[in-house]
Structure 1
Amino acid sequence: MLLDGEAWQAKFRDFRSEAWRLETLPAYNVPQEAEEIRVFLAGERIDPHTHSNEYTEDLKRVRREGKTKGRVHLVTRPLSEYLRYEFMYYLPHAWAGEDIRIMDVTERRNPLADVQDYWMFDKSEVVLMNYEADGTQISREVYEGDVTPFLDYQRIALAESVPFEEYVKGFDI
């Protein structure tokens, strides 16, 4: 079953305890971000101490409700321009309550090399994120099989990653 619109939004509103994502791409082609990326590449940066938007406010709501939201992003160095842009937002997102972790596979074997992006809700439902090679999203699809492999992928990603703030210590984002 493909997910879009209200059904997709409901996943983030209605999960009971945890929403978690594995991100594997070096860039995502999101038309709504094009202007922000252009400004970022021109040298402008947000102030992570004061940045707030709908996403950070929702993260605070999730935390107040005793739920968690997290992700692990697989990366290789040098970071793509898109990742540098995305990392700029990760700091205020982490401060708002998202558990963001980085799994750098630059100089080691990637145990998740064949795993595609996905969201997992409450460790019981998986939504596969389908992308073109350039990072353009094709669809979101509810996975209808056994979620056990995705629980294993999450376990591996969490064990082999580091918290975002630890990862970026010492380099300019």
Structure 2
Amino acid sequence: MDLDGEAWRAKFQDFQSEAWRLETLPEYRVPQEEEEIRAYLAGERIDPHTYSDAYTEDLGRVRREGKSKGRVHIVTRPLTTYLQYEFMHYRPHVWAGDDIRIMDVTDRENPLAGVQDFWVFDKKEVVLMHYEADGTQISREVHEGDVTPFMEYQRIALAESVPFDEYVKSLTV
């Protein structure tokens, strides 16, 4: 079953304990971000100490309700311009409660090679994220099968990654 619109937004309102994502692409083409990316390329930066948007505000709701939200993003260096832009937003998202981790596979084998992006809700429902090669989203699909492999992918991703702030510090050393 494809998910769109209100049914998709409801997933983020209705989960009971955890919403978690695996991100595997070096770039995502999101129409809502195009203007921000142009500004980023022109040298504009957000102030992570004062930045707030609908996503950070929703993270506050998630925390108040005793829930968690997180992700692991698989990357290789050098980071794409898109990842640099995204990392700028990751810092305030982490501060707002998003458990963002980075799995850098630049100099090692990727244990999750071939695994596509997905969201998992409450460790019992998986939504597969389908993208074109350039990062343009095609669709979201509720996975109808066994979620066990996705729980293993999550376990591996968490074990093989580091917290975002730790990763960023390692880039400046």
Q: CA offsets, 1:122-170, max 9 Å, x none?
A: 0000000000000000000000000000000000000000000000015
Give 1:61's aligned amino acid: R
Give 2:29's aligned amino acid: N
Root-mean-square deviation (CA), in Å? 0.8
Give 1:115's aligned amino acid: V
Matched, 1:78 2:78: yes
- For normalisation by structure 2, the TM-score amounts to 0.98
Alignment of 1:122-137 (within 5 A): 122-137=122-137
Moved over 6 A (4+): none
SS in 2 for 1:169: helix
Give 1:150's aligned residue.
Answer: 150
Counting aligned pairs with the same residue, the percent is 79
Q: CA offsets, 1:73-125, max 9 Å, x none?
A: 00000000000000000000000000000000000000000100000000000
Give 2:118's aligned amino acid: Y
SS in 2 for 1:43: coil
Alignment of 1:1-173 (within 5 A): 1-169=1-169, 171=171
What's the CA shift for 1:31? 1.1
In the aligned structure 2, how far is the partner of 1:31 from the partner of 1:124? 30
- For normalisation by structure 1, the TM-score amounts to 0.98
Q: CA offsets, 1:38-58, max 9 Å, x none?
A: 100111100000000110000
In the aligned structure 1, how far is the partner of 2:63 from the partner of 2:11? 16
In the aligned structure 1, how far is the partner of 2:103 from the partner of 2:93? 18
Structure 2 segments unaligned to the other structure (5+ residues): none
SS in 2 for 1:103: strand
In the aligned structure 2, how far is the partner of 1:44 from the partner of 1:55? 20
Give 1:52's aligned amino acid: S
In the aligned structure 1, how far is the partner of 2:58 from the partner of 2:154? 23
